[in-house]
Amino acid sequence: MEREMALSLSSLARMRVRIPATVLVTLVMVVLAVAAAIGAIALSGTKTGFVLSLAAVLGPITLYLALVRPLLFPFGIFVLLVPFDNLLTFSTASTLTRGLAILSGLAIAVFLLRTRRFVKPDRGLIVWVALLLLMFVSFAWSYDTQAGAALLMTWTQLFLLYAAITFLPVDERTLRSVVSLVLAGGVLASLYGAYVFHAGLDVSNNGRLFLTNDEATIDPNHFAAALILPFAIALSAVASARRLPVRLFAGVTIAILAIGLAIAGSRGGLIACAAIMVYLCIRSRHRVTLGAIGLAGAALGLAFHGDVLARFSTAMSSGGAGRADIWRVGLVAFREHWLFGAGFGSFPVAFDQAFLRVSESYYTSWHRAPHNILIGTAVELGIVGLVILCLGWWCEFRALRIVPPNDRLYELRIALEAAVIGLFISGFFLDIMIRKYVWLAFILVALTRNVVRSRPRARVMMNTLPSMEHRT
């Protein structure tokens, strides 16, 4: 009897008690809720008490979502606030969206480790890793390691969020929720901008909108570039939607985004949107509808702010606000650093060294940013970095080739491809590689691809084969 009891106790000791994840989450939620409630009662009537009371109500819910549905929270809030990025500062070196991006990356990483379910990422991830490694290595010969380190930190944070999401399995319903948040963010930004512009606030002398707060400003060119992704999605949706309410909603979205693009007065943004229109008309089955909607949106934007056309008339005389001269100086700097570049973040220093050797028709001053991702990358990382950069953008554009024309996600596919083209064109006039709206477009490409890769194999094969109904 004693021997049997000893055996039973030893076997009991070797047993692994498995507690379901939902039970653990519930226990943690209860502990946090009780702690926050106690703190709120003890500090009632104070700001701290209000914050703790809010945490008592929302803390457990947000924690649960972060552990179970990280694409809805905190990533969903990040998506919604991307167009307002620069205005959401809470310190001299950080913004609310940066904090949400970090939390989103951590939540998604925890979710992947907890569920142990992964999707094989696209080869574009390897290309961006190669570019990131070249940036790190370039500090060995960089002219300005301090500026490069600050830029590289932002680049790395956005890349890590993107990298985590490329492994994440996702269903179509969640993808559509994220897409809806992208549209909502663009609409809210455009409405806020239109309100401020109509009130005569934050408007420059040449009639452009510069959204500001006490510490930061949103450049109108970046404001317009942040609307490129929702514009492409809404334009495709309004042409392809079968249900009238969806088409009306997408039509209103297009109208609001057109106003936001017009008051920004960004020539690069408008050229990018025109390229999106052309690409969608080529690839979509709804060419006539797209053309009509595009003309109507352009007319509405010009009616709200007709001065935007005047900026195109002055583009030649001003050299694109001095960009042409900056690029000429950059090309001279590239000849001196053509192989591996002057080091990541060192374009302004390389620009200064070549500045006096170029005759300028429009004075650009010293220590300028490149305002072009191709010239900037060529000067900082050489021809090697430029090739990797272009390959990375090409991989993002081609990542959705696994979505066939008869798939439900095909219209979203061509919308995202159009958005990648539009953002790449905006990169001819802006430094966009450390901007959150660019990586948000890459993330949507990865999520759409992962929806297809997460489907059962038989279903994927059915979606890629021609329909049998037409053969019978």
Last residue of one domain, picked from the residues 68, 88, 103: 68
SS3 362: coil
Residues 142 and 345 sit within 8 Å (Cβ to Cβ) = yes
Q: Tally the domains of the chain.
A: 2
Query: What is the C-alpha to C-alpha distance for residues 372 and 460, in angstroms, rounded to an integer?
Result: 40
What is the model's pLDDT at position 62?
A: 73
Residues 136/139/140/146 CA torsion (nearest 10 deg): -140
Range of the domain at 424: 124-320+364-462
Exposure of 207 by Cβ count < 10 A (0-12 exposed, 13-18 middle, 19+ buried)? middle
pLDDT value of residue 87: 81
Look at residue 278 and tell me whether its pLDDT is greater than 60. yes
pLDDT the model gives residue 38: 52
Closest to 234 (Cα-Cα) out of 173, 296, 174: 296
pLDDT for 471: 39
- Asked which of 34, 52, 68 is the last residue of a domain, the reply is 68
pLDDT at position 443 is 98
The arithmetic mean of pLDDT across residues 121-132, rounded, is: 95
Residue 105 covered by a domain: no
- pLDDT above 70 covers a percentage of the chain that reads 76
* Average of per-residue pLDDT across 3-31: 46
pLDDT, residue 205, reads 61
| 309 vs 415, more confident | 415
Over 50: is that where the pLDDT of 141 sits? Answer: yes
Q: Which two tokens stand for residue 249?
A: 């909603």
Q: Does residue 129 share a domain with residue 207?
A: yes
Q: Could you read off the pLDDT of 231-270 as tens digits, one per residue?
A: 999 999 888 888 888 888 888 998 899 889 988 888 889 8
pLDDT at 300 over 90: no
Cβ burial 321-351 (10 Å sphere, 16+ → b, else e): bbbbbbbbbbebbbeebeebbbbbbbbbbbb
Confidence class of residue 472 from pLDDT cuts 50, 70 and 90?
A: very low
Dihedral angle, C-alpha 252, 254, 255, 256, nearest 10 °:
90
Closest CA to 383 of 334, 421, 419: 334
Backbone angles phi, psi at 203, to 5 degrees: -110, 130
357 inside domain? no
Average pLDDT, the chain: 82
Quick one: pLDDT at residue 19?
43
Which is more confidently placed, 36 or 96?
Answer: 96
Same domain, 372 and 438: yes
Give me the residue label for tokens 């590689």.
Answer: 433
Please report where in the chains the tokens 């021609």 appear, as a residue.
Answer: 466
The reply to whether 116 falls in a domain is no
Q: Residue 316 pLDDT > 70, yes or no? A: no
| 9, pLDDT greater than 50 | no
Please spell the DSSP secondary structure of 83-104, one letter per residue: GGGGG-EEETTEEHHHHHHHHH
Q: What is the DSSP letter of 20?
A: P
Q: Are 63 and 129 part of one and the same domain?
A: no
Confidence label for 467 from pLDDT (cuts 50, 70 and 90): very low
Query: 172 and 280 in one domain?
Result: yes
- State in Å, rounded, how far the first CA of the chain is from the last one: 75
Residue 4 in domain? no
Could you give the CA distance from residue 242 to residue 239 in angstroms, rounded to a whole number?
9
Q: In terms of domains, do 381 and 287 share one?
A: yes
Do 128 and 225 lie in one domain? The reply is yes
Is residue 99 domain-resident? no
Lowest mean pLDDT: which of 39-53, 268-282, 386-400? Answer: 39-53
Q: In this structure, is residue 237 part of a structural domain?
A: yes
At residue 218, the 3 state secondary structure works out as strand
- Please check the confidence at residue 223 and state whether its pLDDT lies above 60: yes
Worst-scoring range by mean pLDDT, 169-173, 212-216, 258-262, 282-286?
212-216
In a domain, 73, yes or no: no
Q: Which of 1-15, 127-141, 202-216, 244-258 has the highest mean pLDDT?
A: 127-141
pLDDT for 36: 52
Ranges 253-262, 335-344, 356-365, 417-426: which has the least confidence: 356-365
Check residues 116 and 461 and name the one with the higher pLDDT: 116
Same structural domain for residues 275 and 159? yes
In which band, very low, low, confident or very high, does the pLDDT at 54 lie, cut at 50, 70 and 90?
A: low
Same domain for 294 and 189, yes or no, is yes
* One domain for residues 51 and 133: no
Same domain, 60 and 128: no
If asked whether residues 64 and 150 sit together in one domain, one would say no
Q: Considering the domain boundaries, does residue 103 fall inside one?
A: no
Do 140 and 61 reside in the same domain of the chain? no
